[in-house]
Amino acid sequence: MASKVQKPLPKATVAMVEESQAAGRVREIYDDIKATKKIDFVPNLWKTLASHPPLLEQIWMRLKVTMAPGRLDALTKEMIALAVSATNGCSYCVNSHTVAVKKLGLDNEGLGELMAVVAMFNATNSLAEGYQIEPDIVPEV
Protein backbone atom coordinates (compact mmCIF):
# COMPACT_ATOMS: atom_id res chain seq x y z
CA MET A 1 0.00 0.00 0.00
CA ALA A 2 1.20 3.56 -0.47
CA SER A 3 3.62 4.88 2.11
CA LYS A 4 3.34 8.24 3.79
CA VAL A 5 7.14 8.47 3.68
CA GLN A 6 8.65 10.37 0.77
CA LYS A 7 10.90 8.18 -1.43
CA PRO A 8 13.05 9.10 -4.41
CA LEU A 9 11.62 8.23 -7.83
CA PRO A 10 14.01 6.22 -10.03
CA LYS A 11 15.45 8.24 -12.92
CA ALA A 12 16.73 7.15 -16.34
CA THR A 13 19.55 4.59 -16.20
CA VAL A 14 21.78 6.74 -18.42
CA ALA A 15 22.48 10.46 -18.48
CA MET A 16 20.25 12.34 -20.90
CA VAL A 17 21.79 14.59 -23.54
CA GLU A 18 20.33 18.00 -22.71
CA GLU A 19 19.47 20.40 -25.52
CA SER A 20 22.34 22.64 -24.43
CA GLN A 21 24.74 19.73 -24.95
CA ALA A 22 23.36 18.58 -28.32
CA ALA A 23 25.61 18.98 -31.34
CA GLY A 24 25.80 17.79 -34.94
CA ARG A 25 23.28 15.09 -35.92
CA VAL A 26 21.73 15.00 -32.43
CA ARG A 27 21.15 18.76 -32.64
CA GLU A 28 19.49 18.37 -36.05
CA ILE A 29 17.22 15.58 -34.81
CA TYR A 30 16.25 17.57 -31.72
CA ASP A 31 15.25 20.47 -33.98
CA ASP A 32 13.31 18.13 -36.26
CA ILE A 33 11.47 16.62 -33.26
CA LYS A 34 10.40 20.06 -32.01
CA ALA A 35 9.38 21.23 -35.49
CA THR A 36 7.52 18.02 -36.38
CA LYS A 37 5.71 17.75 -33.05
CA LYS A 38 5.22 21.52 -32.79
CA ILE A 39 6.57 21.57 -29.22
CA ASP A 40 9.19 23.85 -27.66
CA PHE A 41 11.10 21.18 -25.70
CA VAL A 42 12.65 17.79 -26.44
CA PRO A 43 10.86 14.97 -24.54
CA ASN A 44 12.98 12.84 -22.22
CA LEU A 45 12.58 9.75 -24.43
CA TRP A 46 14.66 11.41 -27.13
CA LYS A 47 17.18 12.99 -24.74
CA THR A 48 17.75 9.50 -23.31
CA LEU A 49 18.05 7.72 -26.68
CA ALA A 50 20.65 10.33 -27.60
CA SER A 51 22.99 8.54 -25.16
CA HIS A 52 23.52 6.27 -28.22
CA PRO A 53 22.99 8.57 -31.25
CA PRO A 54 22.37 5.77 -33.82
CA LEU A 55 19.43 4.60 -31.68
CA LEU A 56 18.02 8.15 -31.53
CA GLU A 57 18.27 8.38 -35.30
CA GLN A 58 16.73 4.97 -36.06
CA ILE A 59 13.79 5.38 -33.70
CA TRP A 60 13.01 8.99 -34.60
CA MET A 61 13.23 8.39 -38.35
CA ARG A 62 10.92 5.40 -38.10
CA LEU A 63 8.46 7.15 -35.77
CA LYS A 64 8.27 10.18 -38.06
CA VAL A 65 7.31 7.97 -41.02
CA THR A 66 4.94 5.81 -38.97
CA MET A 67 2.98 8.73 -37.52
CA ALA A 68 2.57 10.67 -40.75
CA PRO A 69 -1.17 10.65 -41.57
CA GLY A 70 -2.16 8.13 -44.28
CA ARG A 71 -5.21 5.89 -44.31
CA LEU A 72 -5.33 6.46 -40.55
CA ASP A 73 -5.39 10.03 -39.23
CA ALA A 74 -3.12 11.39 -36.48
CA LEU A 75 -5.68 11.02 -33.66
CA THR A 76 -6.42 7.40 -34.59
CA LYS A 77 -2.71 6.61 -34.60
CA GLU A 78 -2.20 8.27 -31.19
CA MET A 79 -5.21 6.41 -29.75
CA ILE A 80 -3.70 3.13 -30.95
CA ALA A 81 -0.36 4.13 -29.40
CA LEU A 82 -2.16 4.83 -26.11
CA ALA A 83 -4.02 1.48 -26.26
CA VAL A 84 -0.73 -0.37 -26.78
CA SER A 85 0.94 1.57 -23.94
CA ALA A 86 -1.94 0.94 -21.52
CA THR A 87 -1.86 -2.77 -22.39
CA ASN A 88 1.89 -2.93 -21.78
CA GLY A 89 1.67 -0.77 -18.67
CA CYS A 90 4.28 1.74 -19.87
CA SER A 91 3.92 4.76 -17.59
CA TYR A 92 6.07 7.21 -19.57
CA CYS A 93 4.30 6.21 -22.79
CA VAL A 94 0.77 6.45 -21.39
CA ASN A 95 1.53 9.94 -20.12
CA SER A 96 2.99 11.20 -23.39
CA HIS A 97 0.30 9.67 -25.64
CA THR A 98 -2.44 11.00 -23.37
CA VAL A 99 -1.03 14.52 -23.80
CA ALA A 100 -1.06 13.90 -27.56
CA VAL A 101 -4.66 12.66 -27.84
CA LYS A 102 -5.88 15.57 -25.71
CA LYS A 103 -4.03 18.06 -27.92
CA LEU A 104 -5.73 16.41 -30.91
CA GLY A 105 -9.10 17.05 -29.31
CA LEU A 106 -10.07 13.86 -27.49
CA ASP A 107 -12.09 14.77 -24.39
CA ASN A 108 -12.75 12.72 -21.24
CA GLU A 109 -15.72 11.04 -22.86
CA GLY A 110 -13.66 9.95 -25.86
CA LEU A 111 -10.79 8.89 -23.63
CA GLY A 112 -13.26 6.93 -21.49
CA GLU A 113 -14.57 5.11 -24.56
CA LEU A 114 -11.02 4.31 -25.62
CA MET A 115 -10.19 2.93 -22.16
CA ALA A 116 -13.43 0.93 -22.09
CA VAL A 117 -12.39 -0.77 -25.35
CA VAL A 118 -8.85 -1.41 -24.05
CA ALA A 119 -10.23 -2.93 -20.83
CA MET A 120 -12.85 -5.00 -22.67
CA PHE A 121 -10.35 -6.67 -24.95
CA ASN A 122 -7.69 -7.21 -22.34
CA ALA A 123 -10.49 -9.13 -20.59
CA THR A 124 -11.56 -11.16 -23.64
CA ASN A 125 -7.92 -11.81 -24.60
CA SER A 126 -7.39 -13.50 -21.24
CA LEU A 127 -10.60 -15.52 -21.70
CA ALA A 128 -9.63 -16.67 -25.19
CA GLU A 129 -6.24 -17.76 -23.81
CA GLY A 130 -7.61 -19.09 -20.54
CA TYR A 131 -10.05 -21.40 -22.30
CA GLN A 132 -7.84 -21.93 -25.36
CA ILE A 133 -10.76 -21.01 -27.62
CA GLU A 134 -10.71 -22.86 -30.93
CA PRO A 135 -10.30 -20.77 -34.09
CA ASP A 136 -13.56 -20.00 -35.88
CA ILE A 137 -13.84 -21.47 -39.34
CA VAL A 138 -15.06 -18.49 -41.34
CA PRO A 139 -15.14 -17.71 -45.04
CA GLU A 140 -12.22 -15.59 -46.24
CA VAL A 141 -13.13 -11.88 -46.34
Q: Restricting to residues 43-102, name those near a second copy by CB under 8 A.
A: 43-45, 48-49, 51-52, 54-55, 58-59, 62-63, 65-67, 70-72, 76-77, 79-99, 102
Q: What are the C-alpha distances in Å from 80 to residues 5, 10, 20, 36?
A: 37, 28, 33, 19
Query: Distance of alpha carbon 66 from its chain centroid, rounded?
Result: 12
Residue whose CB is less far from a second copy, 27 or 63: 63
Q: Does 25 engage in binding with a second copy (CB under 8 A)?
A: no
**Residue nearer to a second copy on the CB measure, 29 or 45:** 45
Residue 107 binds a second copy, judged by CB under 8 A: yes
State the nearest-atom distance from the C-beta of 75 to a second copy, in Å: 9
